[in-house]
Amino acid sequence: MLSTHRAFYDAVETGDVDLMSSLWVDDVHTSCVHPGAEPLRGTDAVLRSWTLLMANVGYIQFFLTDVEVNTMPPGAEEPDTAVVTCTENILSGEGVESVDAFSGGKAVCTSILVRDRSSGPWKFWSRHASPVIDIDPEAPEEP
């Protein structure tokens, strides 16, 4: 399923709306959370938001770190669900501020991919991205 995950970023980087459409399960219950935003529900709304973002971002590139893949349920021999978590280090050009909270340059993302049968293509069911704010949650409390 990592090829689907990588294709997602290729689609954003190249502004390929058709590729993006092909990567999502077509369902009214799919969901996508952009950094700092409320959830979008249903593939129509999700794809509309990506089309808008791709139309407004002149240049964007993602460098993924800490990519981790786990299939669900853990240990299944022919999994049909996968959870991919990663950190997105984002390099972007002009026009970014107007579309979404991508200006922070770093986000963490949890994606859920599914496939119909063990041989079918993996597709996105859900994507939840959030900004990384420069705080240390385990820092000792100030007196």
Q: Give the footprint of its own copies on this chain (CB under 8 A).
A: 25, 27, 29, 31, 33-39, 41, 49, 52, 56, 66, 68, 70, 72-74, 76, 80-81, 83, 85, 87, 95, 98-101, 108, 110, 112, 114-116, 125-126, 128-133, 135, 137-138, 141-142
Q: Which position has the token pair 């501020």? A: 97
C-alpha–C-alpha distance, residues 45 and 51, integer Å: 10
Cis peptide before 73 (omega within 30 of 0): yes
Output the DSSP codes for 106-141.
Answer: EEEEEEEEE-SSTTSPPEEEEEEEEEPPS--TTSPP
The least distance separating its own copies from the CB of residue 7, rounded to whole angstroms, comes to 20
CB of 5 to its own copies, least distance (A): 15
Residue 16: CB minimum distance to its own copies, A: 20
Q: Which is nearer to its own copies, 22 or 85 (CB)?
A: 85
Nearer to its own copies, 11 or 114 (CB): 114
Query: At closest approach, how far in Å is the CB of 20 from its own copies?
Result: 16
> Which is nearer to its own copies, 5 or 34 (by Cβ)?
34
d(CA 37, CA 128): 10
Q: Which residues contact 122 (CB under 8 A, 6 or more apart)?
A: 1, 3, 4, 82, 113, 114, 115
